[in-house]
Structure formats: structure tokens, C-alpha cells
Amino acid sequence: MPSLTRILAAFILSALLCGAASAQPTGAAPSTPPNIVYIVSDDQGWKDVGFHGSDIQTPNIDALAAGGVRLEQFYAQPMCTPTRAALLTGRYPFRYGLQTAVILSTHTYGLALDEWLLPQALQEAGYETAIVGKWHLGHADAKYWPRQRGFDHQYGPLIGEIDYFTHEQHGVVDWYRDNKVVREPGYSTTLLGDDAVKLIDGHDTKTPLFLYLTFNAPHTPYQAPQAYLDRYKDIADPSRRAYAAQITAMDEQIGRVVAALGEKKMRDKTLIVFQSDNGGTRNPMFAGEGDMSKIKIPNDNGPYRDGKGSLYEGGTRVVAIMNWPGKIKPGSTVEGMIHVVDMYPTLVGLAGGKFDKNKPLDGLDVWPAIAGDKPSPRTEVIYNIEPFRAGVRQGDWKLIWRTPLPSAVELYNIAQDLSEKDNVAAANPDKVAALQKRANELAATMVKPLLLQTEFQALRGRLSMPPALPGEEFMFDEED
């Protein structure tokens, strides 16, 4: 995980296997709740799958895409913690203070306890719930941990970046099973696959299953077993070779999970979702711990600008697919906008769950678009709302507004300019004004970023400064 200095500096810089379906899908909600296997990769580039033209081998992910639907305008938050929070709440992270960066290992806050999470809603609807993999929504106090937030079973790391073989961060083991530290050998990707398969094998099929399978691959450090590295001997750059090996290792575990569902006769009753948590890293400041000065960043976001941490498409438009035999048309594509917050109402709706305990959702039910060839109901995407920047899209028009002086305004027509090369703000002042008005309206409801509050308070304490005046904690110097 990056140091605080690097992560805040980076923010300032960025501120400036499935066969043919047995029946044609109808788009209607199923009569019985499906099993849900929700798979998240970590920092994977948009192009870094076979079906987007990569040289990286992802045959199992490709098979799921071929047998299901590709979501080609699927948006996540620019970084890990915010995306995971958005998925599990159905609400944008600026609603509860998790919009800026990630929860660092030294931080004691977590995802607000008054948020009613997806696993809680599914648990109430009769599901067995399990998280296998990365959490990163609060680690310092057990009240924030997965078992206390709606998961019956938990296995994997609580924080973020870990060594793939020792499972350590800063020399401390970050590997847990049901609230207890586990010290065991093994490559983390393989161990997560093992646990997911074991969970499926032992599952009572009379109860629907929600499995949240969250790999730390292919996040830094770039590490893979030699057998996977050997598959990419033709890649000269060691970082890209290891990164490719990490993705292929993850893909094989996904294949094992799909096979286990088949062997358990659960496959036809299971919706599988796969996405990356944010765009692939392009800025070394967001890459991870250690000296990145001599490492060539390996992620590939295809035609999209920039990557992780930024509000450009490369940081927020992510690889995403859904697959459910008989319910989702094989080989289909949804071109309309979908945001990760939409998964909460969509999945709870499919599960027959209730919406009486959650706070007002930003997400929309997109099932008719996914399975019924209907247009996506989403016409707006909020990329983020922070004290120092905002990103808002309505229709084809996207505003990126950096507010620290000197402020900067960028406007793009995404339909005409996928790569965000042509800033047309000067030629469209009315559109800029309308989107700025929307950003200001949302900012008025924003909970101040917990990361900035925490670090500012700590800095004042170290310097023996008097208490901050209202708003003073968000004064920054910024260089373009």
C-alpha cells in the first residue's frame, strides 16, 4: 500500500465457462432466487482479458463472456475501497466519507455501521453468505469486519496489498478465517480458489448461496509461481510477465469455481458476475509499496485515458461481465451505462429481498437491460465528489472539475471522444455550467472524506496546532 505522502501527492496530481443457454432470456425476474457468485479482480486493466484482445491468457473469463453478457460501459470508483463500498451499499461513497483513496493500514475508521449492506440484505432473504478474499472496508476494529457485516463465512485479507506468498503487509500477517489470524503456506490466489471450491462443495443447495470472491490479483506486488511465469517467457519485461501470470493464475481459479458449481449441479441456478475494482494502474504513485521508479507499469486500459486513481475513463470504466445460463443471452453486450452501485438493487431484486433497511440508493435495477434487451435506465454517472475535484456525466457529456486554485474544467463528449483527448469546455459553456451545478448540489450533501479528516487531525496533533476552523482541513496546495 502506498505511503500517505505518495497517496495524497498522487491525488493532488490526478485532481489537477459457460455453454449455450437452454432457453431464451426474457428479462423477467426469476421465480426462485439464484445463487450469486460475485468475482472481483484488483487493479486489472480494461484490456487485460482475452476477449478485449489481450495476449494474456484468460480462457475461463473469456468463456463466461462468450456465454453471457459483456458490460462495455460498466463504471466503478477510481480506487479499491470506494468501489467495494459502493457495491455493498448501492450508494456512492461520498455519501459516507469513503470517496477519497483507500483505508490505510494505520487508519481506524471503516464503512459506516449504519449502512445496510448487500450481504445483510441477502442474508435476510435466506442466503448463505461468504466472502473469500480481500475486504478493505475496515480492519482496526472487529465491528467493521465481514462477519459483523452480514457474512456467515470469511477467509482472506482484511486490508489491501499483501505479499502473495507470506500474506504479510509491513511484516504483519493479514490473513484471516472467521475473525482469526491464519498462518499457512501457499500462493494467495490459489488459496482463495481452494476455499471457494471447498465452500461450494459443502454447500446445502436447499439454501441459495452468495459468494463474494475477491482476489487481490493482479494488484502489486507483481508475484506469481514459477509455473505461471514460465508461460510468458516471451514477455521481456519482468513486471508485465508477472502481471500476466497473476491474471492467468486467477483465471484458472475462476475456472475451478465454475467447474465446482457444475459438479454440484448449481451452475444453471447461478448468476456469475466478474469485474475489476477500478481501472488498471498507470501512475506509479498508485501502484503499491516499494520503489516503483525502475518498474514499468504493466496494466493496459486499451483506448481509455489514464488509470487507477483518476476520474478519466481509464480509472473508472472497468472490465465487467455477467453470466447465467438460460437467463442471460450468450454473446450479448450491454452498451448502456451501468455503475457498480446498480448491482445492489439488481441482486437484491433477483433474490426477492427487501429494501426497507437500506438508506436511499443511488443504484438502479438494471436486470431488464442485462437479460431483456432493454435500454439501461442509467443516464448519469457520478465518477466522484471530493472537496478538490468532481466528475459527473450526463448522457454523452462528461465534466471533470478540479477545484483547488488554479481550478481546471474539462468537458468531453464520450460518444465522440472515448480517449478524452479533446477538451470542449470552452465551446460548451452552458453544458459546463449545468454539470457544475449538479456537482455542487451533490457536494452540498457530501460527508467529508474520512481519510483527509483523519490525516489532517493527526498532522495537527503532531505539530501541536490549535483545532481547525470549519473547512480549513481541506485547504491544499496543488501543482498541475
Which of 211, 223, 10 has the alpha carbon at shortest distance from 102?
Answer: 10
Q: pLDDT-derived band of residue 195, with 50, 70 and 90 as boundaries?
A: very high
Check whether 14 has a pLDDT greater than 70.
no
Stretch 259-282: mean pLDDT, rounded? 97
Tell me the backbone φ, ψ of residue 453, rounded to 5 degrees.
-60, -45
Stretch 180-201: mean pLDDT, rounded? 98
* Cis status, amide bond into 25, omega within 30 of 0: no
Cell of 104: 490505510
Alpha-carbon span 433 to 166, nearest angstrom: 51
Q: pLDDT-derived band of residue 433, with 50, 70 and 90 as boundaries?
A: very high
Alpha-carbon span 324 to 235, nearest angstrom: 35
Across the beta sheet with 397-402, what order do the strands follow? 380-386, 389-394, 397-402, 408-413
CA distances (Å), 394 to each of 137, 186, 268, 304, in order?
Answer: 29, 46, 37, 18
- Per annotation, catalytic residue among 52, 80, 139, 203: 80
Other CB atoms within a 10 A radius of the CB of residue 168 amount to 14
Q: Give residue-wise pLDDT tens across range 390-405.
A: 999 999 999 999 999 8
CA distances (Å), 480 to each of 4, 12, 304, 311, 404, in order?
Answer: 20, 8, 21, 15, 10
Q: Give residue-wise pLDDT tens across range 206-218.
A: 999 999 999 999 9
Cα torsion 448, 454, 459, 460: sign: positive
CA distances (Å), 413 to each of 398, 418, 465, in order?
Answer: 6, 8, 46
Alpha-carbon span 451 to 178, nearest angstrom: 27
Alpha-carbon span 384 to 332, nearest angstrom: 29
* Known catalytic membership, residue 18: no
Angle at 27 between CA 21 and CA 31, to 5 degrees: 85
Check whether 475 has a pLDDT greater than 60.
no
Which residues fall within 8 angstroms of residue 464, CB to CB, at 6 or more apart?
A: none
Q: What is the pLDDT of residue 239?
A: 95
CA distances (Å), 402 to each of 282, 310, 374, 411, 414, in order?
Answer: 20, 11, 35, 12, 19
Alpha-carbon span 296 to 147, nearest angstrom: 38
Check whether 465 has a pLDDT greater than 80.
no
Alpha-carbon span 399 to 124, nearest angstrom: 39
Check whether 13 has a pLDDT greater than 90.
no
Contact 185, 225 (CB under 8 A): no
Stretch 17-32: mean pLDDT, rounded? 52
Q: pLDDT-derived band of residue 15, with 50, 70 and 90 as boundaries?
A: very low
Which residues fall within 8 angstroms of residue 430, CB to CB, at 6 or more apart?
A: none
- Better-scored residue on pLDDT, 285 or 216: 216
Q: What is the pLDDT of residue 460?
A: 64
Which of 67, 89, 55 has the alpha carbon at shortest distance from 18?
Answer: 67
Q: Give residue-wise pLDDT tens across range 92-127.
A: 999 999 999 999 999 999 999 999 999 999 999 999
- Per annotation, catalytic residue among 136, 203, 219, 339: 136
Which of 436, 439, 399, 398 has the alpha carbon at shortest distance from 415?
Answer: 398
CA count, 13 A, side-chain hemisphere, 217: 28
Which residues fall within 8 angstroms of residue 303, CB to CB, at 6 or more apart?
A: 418, 419
Mean pLDDT of the chain: 91
72 class by beta-carbon count within 10 Å (0-12 exposed, 13-18 middle, 19+ buried): middle
Q: What is the pLDDT of residue 27?
A: 61
Cα torsion 422, 424, 425, 430: sign: negative
Alpha-carbon span 56 to 280, nearest angstrom: 14
Alpha-carbon span 228 to 52, nearest angstrom: 21
Q: What is the pLDDT of residue 451?
A: 96
Alpha-carbon span 176 to 173, nearest angstrom: 9
Alpha-carbon span 103 to 108, nearest angstrom: 8
Residue 288, sorted as left (phi over 0), alpha (psi -120 to 50) or beta, turns out to be: left
Cα torsion 121, 122, 123, 124: sign: positive
Which residues fall within 8 angstroms of residue 227, CB to CB, at 6 or more apart?
A: none
Q: Extract the runs of DSSP E, i.e. beta strands, from 363-462.
A: 380-386, 389-394, 397-402, 408-413
Check whether 136 has a pLDDT greater than 50.
yes
* Known catalytic membership, residue 136: yes
Q: Give residue-wise pLDDT tens across range 350-365.
A: 999 999 999 999 999 9
Q: What is the pLDDT of residue 463?
A: 72
Stretch 18-32: mean pLDDT, rounded? 53
Q: What is the pLDDT of residue 133?
A: 98
Q: Which amino acid is at 464?
A: S
Tell me the backbone φ, ψ of residue 410, rounded to 5 degrees.
-125, 135
Which uninterrupted H or E stretch holds 129? Answer: strand 128-133
Which of 89, 111, 87 has the alpha carbon at shortest distance from 98?
Answer: 111
Q: What is the pLDDT of residue 477?
A: 36
Q: What is the pLDDT of residue 23?
A: 39
Share of the chain above pLDDT 90, in %: 84
